[in-house]
């Protein structure tokens, strides 16, 4: 029996409509994540990674909206759920951690309280029990002296500690899926590695699937089993992380790989920024016709400017969208 | 937290007023209403009669002390009602936006356009004099500043990471408002509330002076001023002491409000953390 995937995105299109203009910010995006699996989305700033993640938890707000496609969590269409059913999923079955551990915590509430709130909200615990569970949750993310730390306010903690608290909040209710949107970009290199390791271990222990979002291909490939590369609102290539370095098929992926210093070495993992590929990311309002990568692509030909490439399934597993893929 | 001098002076004055109000029965020398004795009528201030006596021979000191109860009750309770109304309307309007926001904005502008004392006067005219109508009239007419502040704070807090994060974690609207928004705007709300309390004490005095608030013989500072009107030249102590009580209380609240603003100012706080 092939179990139903945990989450399945099919032909997702997200429209940006602010009255004046109406454009598809994300188009034809499909992927699936099985239970306990790790999947990464990589791409340059503005390619639509974060809004795809928001769509998964039903939190796109004007001027953005899901215009087409399906998002199924355990086979159930997210769009079809009531507001209350969606809330019961968020934080409980699907959790999320963000880039900014500085601002994602409420400055006037002790961190223990903010963790405990999750148990009260989603598990119906009393505050007494919840406060106790909060101490355990802090201990789980390796915060020293958790019984004292629960009383601390966010500004008393370092960036790394705050991100640990965020992970404790996100994993409090034992979610099935953890979405990590650039979880370490704001942190020091050494702290980054610790946090990633912690997140990976905790999720592996609990069988929590991870959707990791980053513009750092090296980092994502290190954490995730499979990687989807996004460019200008489309997934251009999806591969197993090992294959991507050995034989990537899309010119854009090739550019990403080439811009990584010394592949796979420990030093490379710490690097957070891609070196730029020649040219700039097109603005959302004037995506080029045909393949959106064509102005920057060395392999581009007439057909690339005329028609968007279809999905090609690769024999080696994975998919690519390019007329002249390797 | 460092309190400035003005906050400390204001706080002491306000605390003194509260203390006097709370312990009025023990501090007073005679019963403020029944302690009349025509033998002692219109005595000037002396060691026996600290603040003098009025035409019925009642001890002004005891009446001023008891007046603190009424003035402060009106000031505190009506401002609490105003704060609750203002925060509820402003917070929900800023959070939900849309037609509700338009409606609340319209209502706020209307309240701002009509001087609140005139509005309160109209309500008092309908309800008749008395403590309850005073509380209703003053409690319903001075929430517009609180509402504006609450709405503006909500609009700026809404885009904060932790409010977004709360939504992602499955918090409902009410929980977001109570745990994420409200605690982050209490500073300015308290400042406005303190200043508003001073305004309410003054408004009570004005309405009672006009005979619409607390009616003689019950001693509120305003009603005492009202009674003393005719003897302002012959027995000035009748007006001076209640007037001084009003002045010091309102001054205290204003100093406290200004001092708290320096401490609780959200900008200075975010700079520190
Ligand atoms: N609230 C919004 N209103 C208007 N446009 C938006 C909004 N949110 C995102 N966009 C646009 O949608 C596109 C995709 O944004 P998204 O945040 O998903 O990018 P991203 O891939 O996460 O980039 P980054 O790496 O910078 O986080 C961008 O062009 C952005 O300008
Ligand atoms: S379709 Fe053409 S332009 Fe697009 S990536 Fe492939 S070769 Fe380059
Ligand atoms: Mg993003």
Beta bridge partners of A70: A10
Residue at B150 is within a domain: yes
**pLDDT top residue among A99 and B127:** B127
Alpha helices in chain A (DSSP H): 49-56, 83-89, 111-123, 127-140, 146-149, 159-171, 189-206, 217-223, 241-246, 251-258, 266-270, 302-306
Q: If 0-12 CB within 10 Å is exposed, 13-18 middle and 19+ buried, where does residue B63 land?
A: buried
pLDDT in tens, A8-64: 999 999 999 888 788 899 999 999 999 999 999 999 888 999 999 999 999 998 889
Provide the pLDDT for residue A272.
Answer: 47
Residue at B10 is within a domain: no
Per-residue DSSP letter, A256: H
Q: If 0-12 CB within 10 Å is exposed, 13-18 middle and 19+ buried, where does residue A20 land?
A: exposed
The contacts of residue A181 (CB under 8 Å, 6+ apart) are: A49, A50, A53, A96, A97, A98, A99, A213
Which residue's C-alpha comes closest to atom 26 of ligand 1?
Answer: A45
Residue at B5 is within a domain: no
What CATH number does the domain containing B108 carry? 1.10.3720.10
Q: Which tokens hold the place of B111?
A: 């309240």
Residue at B49 is within a domain: no
Q: How many domains does chain B have?
A: 1
CA distance B106 to B99: 10
CA distance B48 to B59: 9
State yes or no: pLDDT of A71 exceeds 80: yes
Residues, Cβ < 5 Å to ion ligand 3: A 50
- Angle at Cα A296 formed by Cα A292 and Cα A302, nearest 5°? 65
Provide the pLDDT for residue A314.
Answer: 86
Question: How many of the other CB atoms lie within 10 Å of CB of A220?
Answer: 24
Task: Give buried/exposed letters for B125-163 (b at 16+ CB in 10 A, else e).
Answer: eeeebebebbbbbbbbbbbbbbbbbbbebbeebbebbbb
Provide the pLDDT for residue A262.
Answer: 53
Rounded-to-10 torsion of CA B190, B195, B201, B203: -120
Q: How far is CA A208 from CA A97, A119, A170, A228, in A?
A: 14, 18, 11, 19
Per-residue DSSP letter, B123: H
Provide the pLDDT for residue B273.
Answer: 40
Q: How far is CA B221 from CA A113, A159, A296, B63, in A?
A: 46, 56, 81, 8
Task: Give the residues surrounding ligand 1 with Cβ less than 6 Å away.
Answer: A 16, 25, 43, 45-51, 63-64, 215, 284
Ligand nearest to the CA of A61: 1
- Counting one residue from chain A and one from chain B, the pairs whose CB atoms sit within 8 A come to 58
A292 lines ligand 2 (CB under 6 A): no
Radius of gyration of chain A (CA): 20
End-to-end CA distance of chain A: 34
Residue at B238 is within a domain: no
Residue where the block lists tokens 């012959």: B234
Taking the centre of ligand 2 as the mean of its atom positions, its distance from the CA of residue A323, in whole angstroms, is 6
For the sheet containing A209-214, what is the strand order? Answer: A94-97, A177-181, A209-214, A38-42, A226-231, A234-240, A319-320, A312-313
Q: Which domain holds residue B136?
A: 76-230+260-273
User: Are A106 and B166 an interchain contact pair (Cβ–Cβ within 8 Å)?
Assistant: yes
Residue at B118 is within a domain: yes
A244 lines ligand 2 (CB under 6 A): no
Complex ipTM: 0.85
Question: How many of the other CB atoms lie within 10 Å of CB of B238?
Answer: 25
CA distance B151 to A299: 55
Residue at B237 is within a domain: no
Set of chain B residues whose Cβ sits within 8 Å of the Cβ of A59: 167-168
Q: Answer whether A117 touches B (CB < 8 Å).
A: yes
pLDDT in tens, A221-256: 989 999 999 999 999 999 999 888 888 889 899 888
Q: Return the SS3 of B34.
A: coil
Residue at B190 is within a domain: yes
What is the pLDDT tens value at each position of chain B, 273 positions in all? 567 888 899 999 999 999 988 988 887 777 777 766 777 777 777 777 777 777 777 888 888 888 888 899 999 999 999 999 999 999 999 999 999 999 999 999 999 898 888 888 899 889 888 888 889 999 999 999 999 999 999 999 998 999 999 999 999 999 999 999 999 999 899 999 999 999 999 998 888 888 888 877 778 888 888 887 887 788 788 888 889 999 999 999 999 998 888 887 655 444 444
**pLDDT top residue among A262 and A284:** A284
A295 lines ligand 2 (CB under 6 A): no
* Closest residue in chain B to residue A120, using alpha carbons only: B171
CA distance A252 to A266: 24
Nearest to A90 among B162, B170, B184 (CB): B170
Provide the pLDDT for residue A259.
Answer: 80
User: Are A87 and B170 an interchain contact pair (Cβ–Cβ within 8 Å)?
Assistant: yes
Provide the pLDDT for residue A265.
Answer: 47
Beta bridge partners of A14: A26, A66
């Amino acid at each position: 029996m092939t179990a139903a995937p945990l989450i399945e995105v099919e032909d997702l299109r997200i429209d940006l409509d602010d009255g004046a203009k109406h454009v598809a910010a994300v188009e034809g995006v499909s992927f699936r994540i099985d239970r306990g699996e790790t999947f990464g989305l990589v791409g340059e700033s503005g390619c639509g990674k974060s809004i795809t993640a928001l769509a998964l938890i039903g939190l796109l707000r004007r001027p953005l909206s899901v215009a087409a496609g399906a998002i199924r969590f355990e086979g159930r269409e997210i769009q079809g759920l009531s507001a209350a059913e969606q809330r019961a999923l968020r934080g409980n079955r699907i959790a999320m951690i963000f880039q900014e551990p500085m601002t994602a915590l409420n400055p006037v509430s002790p961190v223990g309280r903010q963790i405990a709130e999750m148990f009260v909200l989603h598990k119906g615990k009393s505050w007494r029990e919840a406060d106790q569970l909060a101490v355990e949750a802090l201990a789980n993310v390796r915060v020293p002296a958790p019984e004292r730390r629960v009383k601390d306010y966010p500004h008393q903690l370092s960036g790394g500690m705050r991100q640990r608290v965020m992970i404790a909040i996100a994993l409090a209710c034992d979610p099935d899926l953890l979405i990590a949107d650039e979880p370490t970009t704001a942190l020091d290199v050494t702290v980054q590695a610790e946090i990633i390791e912690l997140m990976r271990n905790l999720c592996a222990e609990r069988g929590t699937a991870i959707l990791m979002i980053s513009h750092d291909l090296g980092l994502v490939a290190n954490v995730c089993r499979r990687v989807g590369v996004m460019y200008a609102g489309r997934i251009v290539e999806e591969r197993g992380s090992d294959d991507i370095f050995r034989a990537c098929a899309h010119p854009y992926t090739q550019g990403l790989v080439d811009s990584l210093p010394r592949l796979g070495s420990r030093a490379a993992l710490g690097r957070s920024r891609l070196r730029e590929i020649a040219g700039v990311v097109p603005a959302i309002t004037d995506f080029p016709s045909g393949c959106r990568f064509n102005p920057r692509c060395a392999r581009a030909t007439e057909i690339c400017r005329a028609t968007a490439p279809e999905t090609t399934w690769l024999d080696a597993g994975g998919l690519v969208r390019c007329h002249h893929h390797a | 937290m460092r309190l400035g001098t003005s906050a400390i002076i204001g706080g002491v004055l306000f605390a003194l007023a509260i203390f006097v109000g709370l312990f009025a029965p023990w501090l007073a020398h005679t019963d403020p209403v029944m302690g009349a004795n025509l033998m002692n009528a219109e005595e000037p201030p002396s060691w026996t009669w600290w603040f003098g006596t009025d035409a019925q021979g009642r001890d002004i000191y005891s009446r001023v002390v008891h007046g603190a109860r009424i003035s402060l009750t009106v000031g505190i309770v009506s401002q609490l009602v105003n704060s609750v109304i203002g925060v509820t309307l402003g917070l929900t309007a800023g959070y939900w936006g849309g037609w509700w926001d338009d409606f609340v904005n319209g209502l706020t502008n209307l309240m701002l356009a009509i001087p609140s004392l005139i509005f309160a006067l109209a309500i008092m005219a309908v309800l008749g004099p008395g403590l309850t109508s005073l509380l209703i009239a003053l409690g319903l007419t001075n929430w517009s500043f609180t509402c504006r502040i609450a709405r503006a704070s909500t609009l700026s807090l809404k885009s904060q990471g932790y409010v977004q994060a709360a939504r992602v974690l499955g918090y409902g609207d009410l929980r977001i408002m109570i745990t994420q928004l409200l605690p982050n705007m209490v500073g300015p709300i308290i400042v406005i509330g303190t200043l508003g309390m001073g305004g309410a004490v003054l408004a009570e005095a004005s309405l009672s002076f006009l005979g619409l608030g607390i009616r003689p013989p019950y001693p509120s500072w305003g009603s005492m001023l009202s009674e003393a009107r005719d003897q302002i030249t012959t027995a000035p102590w009748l007006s001076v002491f209640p007037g001084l009580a009003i002045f010091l209380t309102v001054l205290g609240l204003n100093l406290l409000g200004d001092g708290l603003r320096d401490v609780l100012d959200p900008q200075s706080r975010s700079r520190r953390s």
